Each structure stands twice: as C-alpha cells, then as structure tokens.
Amino acid sequence: MPTAPLDPKAILAVDPWLEHNVDHIVHRHDLFRKWKDTIDEIEGGYDKFTKGYNKYGLNVAPDGTVTYREWAPNAKEAVLIGEFNNWNRISHPMTKDQYGVWEIVLPPKEPGVCAIPHDSKIKISMILQTGARIERIPAWIRRVTQDLSVSPVYDARFWNPPAEQVYKFKNPRPPQPKSIRIYEAHVGISTSEFRVGTYKEFTQNILPRIRDLGYNTIQLMAVMEHAYYASFGYQVTSFFAASSRYGTPEELKELIDTAHGMGITVLLDIVHSHACKNVLDGLNLFDGTDHLYFHEGARGRHELWDSRLFNYGHHEVLRFLMSNLRYWLEEFHFDGFRFDGVTSMMYHHHGIGAGFSGGYHEYFGAAADLEAIVYLMLANDAMHELYPDTITIAEDVSGMPLLCVPVSRGGIGFDYRLSMAIPDMWIKLLKHKTDDEWEMGNIVHTLTNRRYGERSIAYAESHDQALVGDKTLAFWLMDKEMYTHMSDMSEYTPVIARGIALHKMIRLLVHSLGGEGYLNFEGNEFGHPEWLDFPREGNNNSFQHARRQWNLTDDPLLRYKYMNEFDKAMNHTEERYGWLHAEPAYVSLKHEGDKMIVFERAGLLFVFNFHPVQSFTDYRVGVEEPGEYTVVLSSDEKRFGGFENVLPGGSYLTTALEWNGRKNFTQVSGASGGDSNNEGFLRAHAVQVYVPSRTCIVLAKK
C-alpha cells in the first residue's frame, strides 16, 4: 500500500510560522514517500531491506557453507583470497550479476566446518576495466584488526567463532527511559593506566560507577572501527566492525547485555555523516571508481574533515547505511543512536561559514541537501517502525525546525536534538566575563531557547569541550590551583571554593532548566582535570591525557569527591521527581542585581544565587502552589564541599502574596452569607528562603 501523502495542516499544527515553507516540506516528504514505496515494492519493505548484512559480506549457513557477496560494478574480475587459500588469486573466482554484485559460495570442508577458519585473514582481489589489480577489505566485514608493528593498515578477519564462544544475551532491553540521563563514554580512555582500555574492563569497572551515579543511558563513542585512534572514532573505515582496539565483538555484546541487566539503555555514536578517505582499509575507491558509495568530485569530499561524503540518493548506499543501523540494533542489542554531524549532512555547505540566525529561509532554501535529509527521514522511520523503543539523537547546531517531529507529521523523525549552544555559552562566560558581569537573562534565554514540543538534550560540557585546545569547566574554573589545593589537607582557597560551587550550580541549572534530557561526558562529573589528547606524533604518542583518572574521585582526601557526590545526588533527585520529562520550567525571576534565577518545574522550586559575595536572608520568591515546602537538595551540604549554611529539610510556608508574577486562579467558597461576588479570585503565593552566595537549593512540597 503506498505511503500516505503529507497533510499540510499537520505541519502548521506543529508550527504556524512554517506557512511559507509548507511546499518545501511537502516536497521533501514526497521524496521520502517515493523511496519508501520503492523499498516496499522492490525489496519487500524495511524489514528485508535493512537486513542487507545477511546478504552482503560473508555469511555462514548452518551446514558451514560460506557465501560472500560484494557490490563492485566497476570490477571486471573478482577473487576471494586469504590465509585459507594461501592468498591464491586464481583458485576462488567470483561471479558478477547484472547489478554489479559479485558472489562466491564455499561449500564446507565437512558438515558444519567452514572452508575458511575462524579469525583468519581475507581480502577481495579485483581487476578493473583498465586491467589494474586492486585488493580491498570487504565493505561489510565484521571484524578487522591492526598490527601497528607491521603496518597501520587493517586486516580483514572472517569472524565466525565456535558456538560455545558466541555471546548469548541474558537480559531484555530496558524500557525507554522517561527522563534520559546520558553518560557519554569512550571505552579506550576509561582506564587510569597509560594504555587503551578494554570492553571487559569497562563492563567490570565503569558500568557500576555509571549505575551508582544515577545515569540511565550510556552513549558509547568510537565503537565503529576507525583508522586513527586520535580521531575519537570519527574517521570510520569499517562500518560493521566493532573496534578491535578494545577487544572482540563478543566482549562488546557482554558489555551491552550487562548494562541492560543494570537497567541502563545503551546508545551508539553512529557516524553516517562521512567516511574515512583511506583506500586500502576503507570504502574510498572501493572498486576503483570515485563514485561507488560517495558523490564524485568536490561534492563527495568534506573540506574541513578531509573525508568522503556519502551519496544518499543511491539505492545501494541506502541499503548499506540503513542495514548498518539495523545491524547494531539486532546483532549487538544497542538501543539507539546519537547521529554525528547531522548539520553537515542536511546542508550543501555542511554548516561551514553558516551563522544560522534562525530565519526559516536558511533551513528550507537551496542550501538544504534533500537527499541527505530524506535519508535521515528513512533511517528514523525504519528504525522506529522495526524497534518502537529506539532512541535517536541528532547532533545539529543549526536548529532545523521539525528535526524532532515524526516523519508522518512532516518531520525528520529524531527523538532528541543536542542543545549545542549551551556549552558554548558557559565557555564564553568563563573565558571572557567576570562573575559580576554574568547576565542572568542571557543565561536563562540560552537554556530555554528551544522549539516547544521538540525534545532537547542539555549539557554543560561534552567530549568537545574536553579536547586539547579547550578546557573542561572545572579546568576553566580552577586550573590555577587544581595541582596544589584539591586536597582536604590544604587550605580551602577562594579559587577552589568558587570553582566547586559554580561547577555544581552550572550543572544543576543545565540539568533542570535546559532540556528534556541531560548529558555528561565521563569524568566531568567529578571535575576531571586537564584535557583529552590521544597518542599522536605531536605528543610523542603519550597516553598522559588519553585516560580517566578515577583515583582522583576515589581518594577520600581529595575534593573531587564533592563534585562527584553532587552529580550523583542531582541525578537521583531527578529520578525521584522527574523534571526532565515534565513540561518546560516557568521562570519567575532573573534578577541581574541580585544574580538570582528562580523557576518551577515538575512541582519543584529551584533557587540559584550566582552572586559572588551577597547572601540573602528571607529572600522572597513567587511560587504557584501554596503549602509547606522543604529543601530536598542543597549544593551547600558538607558532603558536596559546601559550608552547611543551608541543609536539606526544614519547613518553608507560603503566604498569599503575588510575587515575581506568580499567581493562580483559586476557587474559594463565598464569605458568610454566600456572597457570590467573592466566589472566585486571583490568589498568589510566595515563600521566603535563605540563599547563601554561590548556592542553589531545590524545594518540594511536603
């Protein structure tokens, strides 16, 4: 049955300001419908189309028969070579069909025993139309390894472990979290030692930390195999291979399954925005042509990233990418994806030199890359149809309208977008403004400036802010004294006291006001010092900054534990009250002189005093709901490095008084005699609190 056309009214129901762009949105939806109908008619629907990995690459039948298929239309001849046939370029020729797909079937050596041994090296050898011979790693390969002592180029491996070595999943996927609290992590740096960490170590040592901190979702970076460790995983060479730097595919499965057993959702940082330009161990020039998986010429190259750009308008490229998504969900039990570089994908200019002022012409004009946008629509639509609980997050700095609206309503279909302007704001404040120059109004505007109904992931800092050349928030705040005054045995200096106080306040403010989800990069919860810098020539291949120093937060004599404990309390308080999945906050106060921010969300009252020196006694703030309030979280607790001027508990009674614009209509019985004129009136409420300098408190009704 053909896909239903888009009703323009559905677009305007989301955003009436899109009135002048309805035709563009309907047109891109028509392109999406055409592709979806083609997939239904030719391929039998999403389910079959996205299982391309069962047809292409190397697949094993129960009796041990191996079938290998590869799309390489420019090749004139193709041969499967490897250790199994002593790299013989004649013995195992492949046949080509009308679509340019090569195939070979290898019968078993004996029942159940493959002709190709498990974990042995293989390649495809091809002769081009020119007569030149090239050899490549199979495009759909599931395992590649690197022996840097011999060559930086990867070797393809036939991954077919014996049944007893295949990991068997034990735990069901957890339900999609109502409030998503993401721990962004990189397996390789998740050790304190000067080396690359492993999947097994992450499972044993890091998963318990994440659970105890109160994060319910992990976003794993640099899992898809990449050529250069220092690229942070963003130069992908083999899209179906889990990085061998950290261990085996079975060990990654164990990591994900163990996380599920803890109730933790696991997302993959997926890189479909571009590909490594490597030829010998990548997709570039795979069959000798410039245009197999990518656009040819300038359109197929990213100037700044020095990488190749996919041709999202090609049937086989869509099969490859959409099957890649399905593969990670199906084979490894990932629960969803953070799509890297979505801004680069959606615009022909890739966001280079684009200011994105917010004008709708920037999103729906000639700059929009409709082929890439339609791919994202197909990817989101397919994965949500096949796995309804799938979570997809877009890394988009442009603010594209309808990005997080279902495809059926004219959107691109993501569940969340990353609020990328928020960390930039904090860096600018810490870098260029003194504390008394911070503008409360601008801070609140940046945190609340998001499209209503489209969910956002807020974060104060991610891996981007930790990379060499930048600084983490803790380092911006305290780098002058982090090496000398982070011990409880030393003086609690003004620099350290300010740094710890603001670190806590910034993170809670972002957590509670900035979005419908929250993200933290591993180690930043305890104010990890210094920066991230992977081993490379420029640093003599040092691991000094390519690791996480867990010893700092585990040492009871060091002050890092205060920030760690506050992060834990912040997450567990959210788990109890659920502000992330509540309606956006009502901000009742942004006072520039007092440096105060006050707002309500999920029935809680949040009070932030950013004033560098002024504390306030009996500070009156407006509140909607009358009653008795109590403090459920205070950054001033001793266990958080505070001074215990405000502790949890206490009783704060509201008074009937309009304050900070907070008022609600309360139905009240008439006065004696049943005076109908007094049947209903506006009643407002206020509460008085003590808020010390650089302190935040959260109050809830008793």
- Say what the pLDDT of residue 681 is: 42
Asked whether the predicted pLDDT for residue 683 surpasses 80, the reply is no
Asked whether the predicted pLDDT for residue 493 surpasses 60, the reply is yes
Asked whether the predicted pLDDT for residue 675 surpasses 50, the reply is no
Taking the C-alpha atoms of residue 555 and residue 495, their distance in angstroms, rounded to an integer, is 21
The band of 662, judged by pLDDT with boundaries at 50, 70 and 90, is low
Find the mean pLDDT for residues 537-558. Answer: 95
**Order of strands, sheet of 655-656, starting from the edge strand that comes earlier in the sequence:** 616-623, 685-691, 655-656
DSSP letter assigned to residue 403: T
688: β partners: 620
Residue 577 corresponds to which amino acid? Answer: Y
- Say what the pLDDT of residue 350 is: 97
Half-sphere exposure of 603 (CA within 13 A, CB side): 13
The band of 465, judged by pLDDT with boundaries at 50, 70 and 90, is confident
Give the CATH number of domain 586-701; options: 2.30.42.10, 1.10.3720.10, 3.10.450.50, 2.60.40.1180. 2.60.40.1180
- DSSP class per residue in 75-90: EEEEEEEEGGGTT-SS
Query: What is the pairing mode between strands 154-157 and 121-128?
Result: antiparallel
98 three-class SS = coil
- Say what the pLDDT of residue 665 is: 46
pLDDT > 70 fraction of the chain, expressed in percent and rounded: 97
Which token pair is 116? 């190709």
Tens-place pLDDT, residues 472-483: 999 999 998 999
Q: What are the CA-CA distances from residue 208 to residues 213, 215, 337, 570 (Å)? A: 9, 10, 22, 18
- Say what the pLDDT of residue 684 is: 81
Give just the sign of the alpha carbon dihedral 97, 101, 105, 106.
positive
Taking the C-alpha atoms of residue 82 and residue 61, their distance in angstroms, rounded to an integer, is 20
Taking the C-alpha atoms of residue 189 and residue 202, their distance in angstroms, rounded to an integer, is 10
Name every residue whose Cβ is closer than 8 Å to that of residue 425 and which is 6 or more positions away in sequence: 442, 443, 446
- Say what the pLDDT of residue 658 is: 79
418: β partners: 457
Find the mean pLDDT for residues 85-113. Answer: 97
Find the mean pLDDT for residues 542-567. Answer: 97
- Say what the pLDDT of residue 664 is: 56
Give the H/E segment covering residue 386.
helix 370-386
Residue given tokens 């869509």 in the structure block? 318
Residue given tokens 């293989």 in the structure block? 122
Say if CB 501 and CB 512 are below 8 A apart: no
Q: Decide: residue 40, CB within 10 A, 0-12 exposed, 13-18 middle, 19+ buried.
A: middle
133 three-class SS = strand
Tens-place pLDDT, residues 378-431: 999 999 999 999 999 999 999 999 999 999 999 999 999 999 999 999 999 999
- Say what the pLDDT of residue 671 is: 36
Q: Where in the chain is the domain with CATH 2.60.40.10?
A: 52-165
Catalytic residues: 340, 395
- Say what the pLDDT of residue 470 is: 79
Tens-place pLDDT, residues 196-244: 999 999 999 999 999 999 999 999 999 999 999 999 899 999 999 999 9
Asked whether the predicted pLDDT for residue 667 surpasses 70, the reply is no
DSSP alpha helix (H) spans, 514-559: 550-554
Tens-place pLDDT, residues 342-379: 999 999 999 999 889 888 999 998 999 999 999 999 99
Tens-place pLDDT, residues 616-644: 999 999 999 999 999 999 999 999 999 99
Which token pair is 360? 């709708």
How close are the terminal C-alpha atoms of the chain, in Å? 55
Region of poorest pLDDT, from 47-61, 133-147, 354-368: 354-368
Exposure class string for 176-187: b at 16+ Cβ within 10 A, else e: bbebbbbbbbbb
Say if CB 571 and CB 214 are below 8 A apart: yes
Find the mean pLDDT for residues 492-512. Answer: 98
- Say what the pLDDT of residue 279 is: 97
Which token pair is 334? 């990932």
Tens-place pLDDT, residues 284-340: 999 999 999 999 999 999 999 999 999 999 999 999 999 999 999 999 999 999 999
The residue that leads in pLDDT, 301 or 681, is 301
Query: How many Å is the maximal CA-CA distance in the chain?
Result: 106
Q: Is 45 left (phi over 0), alpha (psi -120 to 50) or beta?
A: left
- Say what the pLDDT of residue 670 is: 36
Find the mean pLDDT for residues 47-59. Answer: 98
The band of 497, judged by pLDDT with boundaries at 50, 70 and 90, is very high
Tens-place pLDDT, residues 173-194: 999 999 999 999 999 999 999 9
Asked whether the predicted pLDDT for residue 17 surpasses 50, the reply is yes
The pLDDT mean for the chain works out to 95
CA-nearest of 568, 337, 580, 373 to 457 is 580
Find the mean pLDDT for residues 519-540. Answer: 93
Domain 52-165, CATH class in plain words: mainly beta
The band of 678, judged by pLDDT with boundaries at 50, 70 and 90, is very low
Region of poorest pLDDT, from 153-162, 501-510, 555-564, 651-660: 651-660
Taking the C-alpha atoms of residue 556 and residue 486, their distance in angstroms, rounded to an integer, is 11
CA-nearest of 318, 336, 442 to 50 is 318
The band of 663, judged by pLDDT with boundaries at 50, 70 and 90, is low
